[in-house]
Amino acid sequence: MNLGPHADFIIASYAVTAFVVAAMVAWVVLDHSSLKRVLGDLEEQGVTRRSRSKGDA
């Protein structure tokens, strides 16, 4: 594949996009695992949500 005389601009565009998409995916995945860990810790300490006692969760 020949990207011509402006290959640097094309490669830079794809690299920036890949970086931003990877950052978004990492943010969502790491945030999820961190929140699950905190929720698990709270439940271990015996803290429960009020709605849970009504069979909601």
Distance CA 28, CA 35 (A): 11
Q: Which amino acid makes up residue 2?
A: N
The minimum distance between CB 46 and other proteins, in angstroms, equals 9
Residues 51/53/54/55 CA torsion (nearest 10 deg) = 100
Query: At its nearest, how many Å lie between other proteins and the CB of residue 35?
Result: 4
Nearest approach in angstroms of CB 8 to other proteins is 9
Q: Alpha-carbon distance 47 to 11, whole Å?
A: 51
Q: Which residues bind other proteins (CB under 8 A)?
A: 1-7, 9-10, 12-14, 16-17, 20-21, 23-25, 27-29, 31-32, 35-36, 38-39, 42, 45, 47-51, 56-57
